[in-house]
Structure formats: structure tokens, C-alpha cells
Structure 1
Amino acid sequence: MPPASAAVAEPGVPKYLVVYRRIRGAIADGQLRPGDRVPSVRALAAELNLARGTVEAAYALLVSEGYLTARGQAGTIIALDLPSAPGKPAANSTSTEQEQPLPLQLGMPALDAFPRKLWARLITQRARQTDSASLGFSDPRGYAPLRAAIAQYLGLYRGVQCTPDQVFICSGYNAVLERVCESLEMAGQDCWFEDPGYLHARQILLNRGVKLIPVAVDSDGLQVQQGIRQAPAARLAIVSPAHQSPLGVALSPARRQALLDWAREHSSWVLEDDYDSEFRYRGRPLPALKSQDQHDRVLYAGTFSKMLFPGLRLAYLVVPRAQVERFEQLARLLRNRCPELLQATVSDFLNQGHFTRHLKKMRQLYSVRRALLVKALEDVCGGRLKVDPQAGGINLLVRLLVDVPDTQVARRARAAGLAIEALSHWQLTAGKEGGLLMGFTNVASAEQAREVAARLLAVILEARPDGG
């Protein structure tokens, strides 16, 4: 093992992770061999002038990965049966542009379970059908057969009755927000925004000059009466009623009706973000708010990023009939930036029944993977955190039971290679209860679940105020 007296300091890297890397590196270099005894937590902490909790966190991570074996009073040794040659630990990077999703990354579907061979066959068939007409500018509203397939799917599965001319294809949910802001002339206008609410949407709206009115969310969803008290004449309300982002609660029937009544009475609009309502693990998926919209005040947004894969950058927007002409004008001005080849392939995916079969498969898979991560968190981190109960979605909300800021844990987790986000960052109003947001869809085994739970435990142990 490298000299213990060496300073434990790497800019931006948690101290426990520095200790972890040094021990793992010594194993890889052959300086520490199977059966060798490592210093006790107390002894190493004293020699490195660190808190015991820091060394304890490093040892806990090494034990979880199979590099150390704790033998109680006999001390801790290098495992006799080491894993295959230890590789490099997670890099200290927060970039979202990587080939594989980071562990616990939010909003990421199970990429390993996507039917790639089927998709490749469909897209190849479409590419072979390329003719001169398809090489020109595509319909700015979106590929007509895809818009028709979406309208049919929404009518059958989400209760949304619309015609293809009301459906507009956009290059992701960000583009949906841009279109809505432009069409409704939202610059300088009041907009109800769920608090906490979708972080990236908030940033886009603020950049557009929208005046956000934070409206609290509780176990029944958006507190509509609070919104009415704060800004009764707001031009727009943006909500995720089936599965609120990020708390995961559903908008209650009474509040759904209150929201629709408010929109009708004040000639306001509601943008429904129905981003992952298909993934519900208890009971049937909830109907869309748009399905109850008798006065046509709801704009309905959906995306294929979480149902298929994010690289598609493909979303859609259903607009009220009174807004179709305005959105058509805007579509002709801004153009549709979604490649028609991808739109046509998604159209085939829907029309040939692959989409509904894929969703059914993913619901079953996600139910299993969610249970794996929840069990691992409870077994490994029990007493330090609590998982919020949620009926659906592809993310978990975990509450900390230790006195440490969620932002501090999330920052250290990022440095340890875990793509965890702090709930506090999703809140407009300071001082609310914090938590940790994490995805579970790419946790493919019980072993992987326990490994990421152990890494999180190590982060929490080091982040405790007393360091112990």
C-alpha cells in the first residue's frame, strides 16, 4: 500500500474516494495481495489525519465490491477471491454525453432492453424506400402517417380524442416548450409552475422571459387553489398530472376538475406533460387530463425519449382546435428538425404493434428493477434513508434520514460516479424538504443494485456533519 503519510487531497474528489482509489490501485499493482491485512479504520484515519467516517466509507465501498473482507475482531484483509483485475473507478465527471448511462441516471430508459435488431430492420426497410420526394423538405407539422398513428394511439390508450391535424411533431420536449411559448406569446406572462417541478423546463421558460408562479405540490398534486390565490389570471399552467415530476404523485380528481374549471373561467391554457404515464406498477394507468377537457383548454405533450430511447429527440404536441392555425403558421416558420426517416420508422413501430408490446415488456421489467434497487437501498442504507412510495414512473425519490443537505450528498455522489440529483435543485421555493432523485431502469441485477447502494452509503457516511 502507498505510504499512509501521503497527503489525501485531489481537487474536487471526496477524501473517501481518494482512499478507496489508493487501496484499489495498490491491489491492482500487486502491492497488496489476497490475505494481507489492512490497517484498522481507527489507525488509518489517525495516520492520514482523516475522520473515521471517511475511512469507514472507503472500506465499505471496497467490501461491497469484493476487494476487502471484514473479519470482525480479526480485522480486515484483502479478499482471498478477488474480482477480475480491478479497473478504474468512476471518473469525476458530470458530463451527460457518454456511451453508457451513468448509474442511477434520471429519465433514462433501459437501453439494454430496447429491441435494437427489430429497430435496425425497420429503419433499413425505410431507408431502402427512399425516393426523390423524401429527399426534399418534409411536412413542417411532422410526418403525416406518424401524426395519424399518434392520434390513434392516444384515443385508444390515453382517452385523448384528437385528429391528426391537431398533432405536431417536435424535436424533443424542449422544442414543445419553445413552440408553446411562441404561440401563446408567453414572454412576460404569468405561468403556474409546479414546485418542485421539472428543472430543465424551468430553465427554458425563464430564458423565454416567462414569469413563473411557483405552486406547491402535495400528495394530491398541484395545489390549484394556491395558484388561484397567487395569480388567478395566469395565461398558462404547466402540469404533470398522471405522475408529477419529480415527486411522482398523481393529481387528484377534485383538483383535476378545479384546474379545468380555472382554465375555462379565465380563458387560460394548461400544458399537460404526460411524459411517462404508461409506466404504472399498481393499478391501471391514469387517464390523461386532456381526456376530461370538455372546453378544449389543454395542450397535451408526450415524448418517445422515455418510451423508446432519448437519441430519437422526438416528441409531440396535441393542440386545441382553436390553436391549430397558429401552430401551423409557427411550424412553417420554424420548420420541423426531426429527420423524416426516424419519424417514418417510429410510425412503423406504432402501426405494426411493436410499441404497445414494448411498453408491456418495459412495465414488467421496470417493476422488477425498481424492486431490486428499493430492496438494496433498504438493506444497505437502512436507517439513513427512506424511499418514497410511488405507483409508477422510471425514477425514485429517496428521503434522507440523516442531518446532511441533499445537495452535498448529490455532489459527492456525482464525484463517485452516481448520477443522483438533489431535490432541492428542482425547487423554486427555498427551505422545503429535500431528497435524492435517481433512476432505476438500468439497474439490471441484484448485485448491481447492492453495489450502487453501497457507493451511496459510502457517500452518506462521509457527508455526515461529524464525519463519523
Structure 2
Amino acid sequence: MPKAISSFELTLKSRSRHQTLTYWLYGELRSAILEGRLAPGTRLPASRDFAGQYGLSRGTVVSVLERLQSEGYVSSRVGFGTWINRVEAPRPARRATATPAYIRRVLSTYKRPQSWIDTAFVGGPRPFRIGDPAVHEFPSEVWGRLAADRGRHFKSWVKQGGDRRGYRPLRDAIAEYLRTSRGVRCSAEQVVVVSGIQQALDLLARLLLKKGDPIWMEDPGYFGARIAFENAGARTIAVPVNEEGLSVSAGMRLCPDARGAYVTPAHQFPLGVMMSLERRMALLRWAARAGAFVVEDDYDSEYRFEGPPVPALQSLDRHASVIFIGSFSKTLFPSLRVGYVVLPEPLIDLFVGFRYRADLRNSSFDQAVLCDFITEGHLARHLRRMRNLYAERLATLMDGARQHLGGMLEISNVRAGLYTIGYLTNGMSSRQAEKLAAAQGIEVLGVDRCTLRRPDPNALVLGFGGFDDLAIRQGLIRLAKALS
């Protein structure tokens, strides 16, 4: 039987301007019940009286009470009114800092990511952050027009977006683009659309590798690939990289029976070198003999400043050894989460099945707009314009480095990509240089963050793609101050 009360007093906190009345009142009453400020059996005023007491509409009060009743916090009966039920609130931890056992288990199982990952993409771009394209130069008005056109004709194309491999017209466009620009031997059937390079690597690692399987990794190399393969339980084999790219002979000495290899032959990350033809052929011969796969990450291939583009490694493959991956995040803009994987035909259905377990598919709308952007020639025009712009920004960086960083940092004159590498010549370690640069508002990446077994080469990676000439020159002055 509910307790009869002559008056009802409950202090309610002020409502935030972002909260609706209903949401605010529900939260206040629910908290009061869970905290014991409204004891079990306490009878609430009639909805009309409650509304008058707190200056609310009766409809708001009725709506909140109905929700509380549906969730078991209160009960109501004609003739008796509404009263508070007995609710067992979760017991607070004995200590405010106590960590639940399941969290401790997870933290003890997995390595914590390197600290730079936590802040790498926080805040606005700072010179010389890697991975930032010149987003302000993107033809957003063209993209907006194409998006508006697709929106107006939504019903005519949206049903085509159900293919788990990706929007078929986009896969046709990607296949044609890769055939003409990279020499990739593929059909649209072999192209699967994903959300980016990292998802592609994660899915491939889980599909191709079992726990303990060895895989060759470039050393130094892309940390995201290492994370994906190690998360799948693979054993990464650090294969050294020099001016010709990954050393196949070293890989064969270290682990000749590796299950596969991951390479960035067009523009190696982070050293920026291109894999020589001799090394490419040696890698393909090893893969064919060993029955191994090669994941070719076509990193930064679109932006080559000297000489003609070099065809993809996949174009030389005659044994279905190479799996080719790429994305549009730097050619267009990072928030466009569209990448692609070109698979040997026998692996297509298996890969799509793994993808389906993760997140089904990409946005059909984004895929349709991107398809139009490619097929109408906007991508080709944009790339031509951006190659010239990035070449100018690289020249600005090289000129400024000679002027401000002499005796401290020797900058390599790269032939492709949106970053360059600088070797410290003042005796400073790359980790120390990172910290001092950060204190000046400069973001550089120490190459030692990308190594597996190789000693610290005392070098820094400097991105220049996302920064205009003024930002580059001012950034170099601040970097010089940090390194002096």
C-alpha cells in the first residue's frame, strides 16, 4: 500500500537549454528513485497537481509517468494513484577508482597503442602533420552539384547500392581508372569497396593469416599495417628497406617460408623510396615459389613529380599473388571513407563475407557521387592540378629548409607523395626532436616510430601537402627554433 503524504517536496535541478522538458523531468525523477530520495512506496501527486506545483504542462507529466511505469520505476492504479516501486540500484564500487574486472582483462590482453596515436588526429592541422591533403583546394562546388543531382533522382539509383561488393557503377569506374592510371589487371568483379586502407588491412589480415603465421613487413614501415597483422595474431618479420625498397634477399634469409608480404612499392612509407624493378620481380618470384600473397598498398602513387607514373606491382603479377589496395582519402578528402581492394577471383566471396560481418557496406550515396566525380572527368582534372600544387609546396619546403635548417636537418628531395624525410645532423634523437617541435606547435613524426628492429635512424617525417607556402615557411622557422 503506498504511503499517504500530505505534501510532496522534491528539489529538481535546473534544466539545460539543450534538454527537452520531458527528457529533463524523466531524468530528475529517475535519478531521485535510484538515489533513494524518493523512497519505495512514496505516492506521487496527481498529474494535475504535480504539473501545477512545478509549472509544467499536465501532458508532460503524464508522458514522463507513463515512461517511468513502463520501465518499472513506478506503479499506478485507479483509486490509489501513482507510487514509487522498490528498485535495486547498482552498488557503487568500494573505491571511486576501482576498475571493473572485464576492463582489467582487456587491458592485460592487448598492448596499448603508441602514445602518438592518441593525439595524431586531434585538433586542427599543424605543420608538418602527415596525411593531410590540401582539402581547401578540393572542388567542393562540383561535388555539391553532383550530390544535389543524386539527391533529386534518389529513387532511380538507390536500389543499385545493395551489392555487398559496392555500388556496381563505381566499381566499373574504379577498375577503369586503375587499368589506365596504374596498369592494374582487373575487372569490376574483382573490385570490392571498403571504408579505407585500414579496414582493408584488417579484413585481409583476418582472412589470410592464422595465429603465429609469419608475414614480411617493411622496416621501417607503415604502423597501421603492423597493427592489423599483429591484431590477427600474425608474427611480423622485419625486413630492411633501402634505396631500392624492401630487400627480398634479406626477407628470404630471415623467413623464406613467410605466408605473405606487405609492401608500399610506389612510395615507401616512411622513407619515400620507390621499389626497383629488380626487387619487384624478385618479390613476385618468391611469392610464386612460396605460395605466398603480397599486399600492395598503392600509397601516394597518384602524386609523382618526376618522370612518368610507374605501373603497379600487380601489373607484373602472373600468378594471382598480389592483392592491390588503395583509397581516395588523400586524392580527394579524408572524411570520404571510400577505399578499394582488388582481389584474385577465388578470394572475392570470402573477403565479402568477412566484410559483411564487420559493417555490411559503405554509404551508397557517397559511392554514387564519387562514381559521377570519376566518370565525368573531375578526378583526372583534380589530380593534374594537385600534382602541380604539391610540387610547388615541396619546392617551398626544400628552399625554406636550406635557409633555416642548415646544420640541423638534411631534407631528402623526394620524387612523389605528400611528405618528405629529414635526417637530424645535430646529434639529436628523433624522439627528442619530436617533443621539442611539439612545444613550438609543430607536428613531426620520428621515423623510429615506424621501425620494428632497425635502430633509430634519427630522422623525421614532414608532411607538406596540407599547408600553404606561408604555413610551410613559418613552420620551418619554428622547427629551426626547436632544433637549435
The more displaced of 126-135 and 222-231 is 126-135
> Counterpart amino acid of 1:276?
D
Structure 1 contact 275–306 (Cα < 8 Å) conserved: no
Q: How does 1:261-272 map to 2 (within 5 A)?
A: 261-272=285-296
Of the candidates 386, 395, 409, which is equivalent to residue 371 of structure 1? 395
- Count of residues in correspondence between the two structures: 369
Taking the aligned partners of 1:360 and 1:234, their CA distance within structure 2 comes to: 39
Following the alignment from structure 2 to structure 1, what is the Cα–Cα distance between the partners of residues 123 and 456?
A: 35
Partner of 2:429: 405
Q: Is the 8 A contact 1:280 1:363 kept in 2?
A: yes
Matching of residue 224 in structure 1 with residue 248 in structure 2: yes
Aligned amino acid, residue 231 of structure 2: N
Provide the C-alpha distance between the structure 2 equivalents of 1:235 and 1:138, rounded to a whole number of angstroms: 34
> What is the distance in 2 between the residues matched to 1:449 and 1:282?
22
Equivalent position of 2:474 in the other structure: 451
Structure 2 counterpart of 1:48: none
Residue 341 of structure 1 and its aligned partner are, at CA, apart by 0.7
Quick check: 1:302 aligned with 2:314? no
| Aligned counterpart, 1:249 | 273
- 1:189 match: 213
Aligned residue number for residue 142 of structure 1? 166
Displacement of 1:337 after TM fit?
3.9
Give the corresponding residue for 2:187.
163
The answer to whether the Cα contact below 8 Å between 2:191 and 2:341 also exists between their aligned partners in 1 is yes
| SS at 1:123 equivalent | helix
Deviation per CA, 1:135-167, whole angstroms, max 9, x where unpaired? 797322111111110001111111112111100
1:110 to 134, 142, 145: 134
CA distance, structure 2, for counterparts of residue 130 and residue 103 of structure 1: 41
User: What is the distance in 2 between the residues matched to 1:334 and 1:231?
Assistant: 32
String of CA shifts for 1:443-464, please: whole Å, max 9, x gaps: 312x332211110011112xxx
- Sort the Cα spacing of 1:405 and 1:293 in 2 relative to 1 into closer, same or farther, 3 A: same
Q: Residues 123 and 345 of structure 1 are in contact (CA less than 8 Å); yes or no, is this contact kept in structure 2?
A: yes
TM-superposed deviation, 1:416: 2.2
Alignment of 1:33-52 (within 5 A): none
Is 1:127 equivalent to 2:151 in the alignment? yes
Is it true that 1:290 corresponds to 2:352 in the alignment? no
User: Does residue 389 of structure 1 match 2:425?
Assistant: no
AA aligned to 2:393 is R
Which of 200, 222, 232 is 1:176 aligned to? 200
Is the Cα contact below 8 Å between 1:183 and 1:330 reproduced in 2? yes
TM-score (norm 2): 0.73
Contact 2:209 2:259 in 1 (8 A): no
Hey, which bits of structure 1, 4+ residues long, moved more than 6 A?
none
Cα separation, 2, equivalents of 1:331 and 1:205 = 16
Aligned-partner Cα distance in 1 for 2:298–2:402: 30
Q: Which moved more, 1:183-192 or 1:329-338?
A: 329-338
TM value normalised by structure 1: 0.76
Q: Kindly tell me: are residues 426 and 96 of structure 1, through their superposed partners in 2, closer, same or farther at Cα, counting changes over 3 Å? A: closer
Take 2:209 and 2:132, find their aligned partners in 1: how far apart are those partners?
32
Query: For structure 2, which runs of at least 5 residues remain unmatched after alignment?
Result: 1-116
Q: 1:430 to 1:250 in 2, by over 3 A?
A: closer
Structure 2 partner of 1:460: 483
- AA paired with 1:221? G
In structure 1, list runs of 5 or more residues that go unmatched. 1-92, 462-468
Instruction: Give distance in 1, aligned partners of 2:415 and 2:344.
Output: 30
Give the % identical residues.
38
Preserved CA contact (<8 Å) 2:408 2:426: yes
Deviation at 1:210, TM superposition (A): 1.4
* 1:358 aligned onto 2:382: yes
Q: Do the aligned partners of residues 96 and 385 (structure 1) sit closer, same or farther apart at CA in structure 2, a change above 3 Å counting? A: closer
Instruction: Give the AA of the match of 2:292.
Output: S
Give the direction of change, closer, same or farther, for the CA distance of 1:356–1:267 in structure 2 (3 Å limit).
same
Amino acid at match of 1:108: D
Secondary structure of 2:381's match? helix
Letter in 2 for 1:424: D
> What is the aligned partner in structure 1 of residue 85 from structure 2?
none
Provide Cα deviations, 1:28-82, integer angstroms capped at 9, x if missing partner: xxxxxxxxxxxxxxxxxxxxxxxxxxxxxxxxxxxxxxxxxxxxxxxxxxxxxxx
Give the C-alpha shift of residue 134 in structure 1. Answer: 2.6
State the 1:101 CA deviation. 1.9
Q: Shift of the alpha carbon at 1:317?
A: 0.4
Shift of 1:378: 1.1
Quote the Cα distance in structure 2 between the aligned partners of 1:279 and 1:375. 20
User: Structure 1 270/125 Cα, relative in aligned 2: closer, same or farther at 3 Å?
Assistant: same
**SS of equivalent residue, structure 1 residue 311:** coil
* Letter of the structure 2 residue corresponding to residue 460 of structure 1: L
Distance 1:133 1:110, change over 3 A: closer
Moved more, 261-270 or 325-334: 325-334
Distance 1:429 1:157, change over 3 A: same
**2: distance between equivalents of 1:348 and 1:262?**
40
Q: Secondary structure at the match of 2:461?
A: strand
Q: Contact 1:176/1:316 (CA < 8 Å) preserved in 2?
A: yes
Q: Is the 8 A contact 1:167 1:318 kept in 2?
A: yes
- Measured in 1, the distance between the counterparts of 2:228 and 2:126 equals 24
Offset at residue 172 of structure 1 (A): 1.1
2:303 counterpart residue number:
279
Q: How far does residue 96 in structure 1 lie from its aligned partner after superposition?
A: 4.2
Counterpart CA distance in 1 for 2:161 and 2:381 is 32
- 3-state SS of paired residue (1:312): coil
Provide the rounded CA distance (Å) in 2 between the counterparts of 1:337 and 1:393. 29
User: Which of 1 and 2 has greater Rg?
Assistant: 2
Higher RCO, Cα 8 Å, sep 6+ = 1
SS at match of 1:399: strand
Residue pair 1:169, 1:336 contacting (<8 A) in 2 also: no
Deviates more, 1:411-420 or 1:208-217: 411-420
